[in-house]
Amino acid sequence: MEAASLPAALELAAGGGAGLSPEKRAVLGASLLLLQRDYRFERVWFWGCIQGVRGVYYIAEGLGPDRAAPRSRLYSWNCVEWSLLPPATEEMVARAEQLKGRFQGDPSFEYEYAEINAEDAERLFEDGKEPMIKEESRLVATIEQIDRAVGIIPRGAFVKTPLGSVRENRNFEGLSLTEAKKLSSYFHFTEPVNLKNKTLLEKADLDPSTDFLDSLEHDIPQGSWTVQLEKGGTVVVLRSLLWLGLTFYHVPMTKQYGYVYFGTGEKNLDLPFML
């Protein structure tokens, strides 16, 4: 969610009970604006926080002119001092998926090879690498996993230019209430997968400038999203049951939307058996 509108955005997404104290909101609002200035980001989003056993990681993302380009990610323990995280790699994501259990809250903490798949540990030994994963790498990979799986935007909020870059749509005035209650009105803000498998006939009705992402209606497993009306029916809220703690909000007929994550950074692997 946008750093500039953080207090109001957190109120709109607070229906699930998670949130920040007034003191943390005030400190965060000021520090994110300084972060944007110091790193020369075009926009800064407050991504959320991951609760560890001994501490909390507050996460921010910095964006450039092309909104689809890789984002810079930073974390903080006190919402004042921020540290830049390394870019996520496919190897990081694959290794982090092997880990189970809570985050410790210490980026230098190392997960022993006993907690990693035996085949992966053997391969690492052969490559001359130590079979250990630092929590910092796991943090980066988990943020990337969550963004790929449940980082969403409303249809029409971004447009793809003829040159391939993705920009904010200045003409976007929000979804109607009827459209806002449909999963097909929301897109995953990541590289599309299902769209590439559609036939030419299915793509005929799509607008290439706005329908260039995968919609939520075909997410697997079916039923992994809840759609609710809150604040007297004026706010549409989507919550992920796959990554518990991810909340997306949109005020119909306005430009107000965003998502935030408050959780432990653990995927709900039991979801298929709960539906």
pLDDT above 70 coverage of the chain, percent: 87
**Residue 121 — very low, low, confident or very high, per pLDDT cuts 50/70/90?**
low
Q: According to the model, what pLDDT value does residue 10 have?
A: 85
Residue 164 contacts residue 65 (beta carbons within 8 Å): no
Q: According to the model, what pLDDT value does residue 7 have?
A: 81
pTM: predicted TM-score of the whole model, two decimal places: 0.86
- The number of CA neighbours under 13 Å toward the Cβ of 135 is 20
pLDDT tens column, 44-82: 999 999 999 999 999 999 998 888 888 899 999 998 999
Residue 119 pLDDT > 70, yes or no?
Answer: no
Residue 115 pLDDT > 70, yes or no?
Answer: no
pLDDT, averaged across the chain: 85
Q: According to the model, what pLDDT value does residue 127 have?
A: 59
Beta bridge partners of 187: 153, 215
Question: Would you list the domain boundaries of the chain?
Answer: 3-87, 153-258
Can you spell out the DSSP letters for the chain? Answer: -BSTTHHHHHHHTGGGS----HHHHHHHHHHHHHHHHHHT-SEEEEEEEEE-SS-EEEEEEEE-SSTTSPPEEEEESSSSS-EEPPPP-HHHHHHHTT--S---S-TT-EE-GGGS-HHHHHHHHHTT--S-EEHHHHHHHHHHHHHHHH-EEETTSEEE-TTS-EEE-TT-----HHHHT-GGGEEESS--STGGGS-HHHHTTS-TTT--S-BGGG-SSTT-EEEEEETTTTEEEEEESSSTTEEEEE-TTSS-EEEEEEE-S---TTHHHH-
CA 25 to chain centre: 19
pLDDT tens column, 150-192: 999 999 899 888 888 888 888 899 999 999 999 989 999 888 7
Task: Name the residue with higher pLDDT: 203 or 8.
Answer: 8
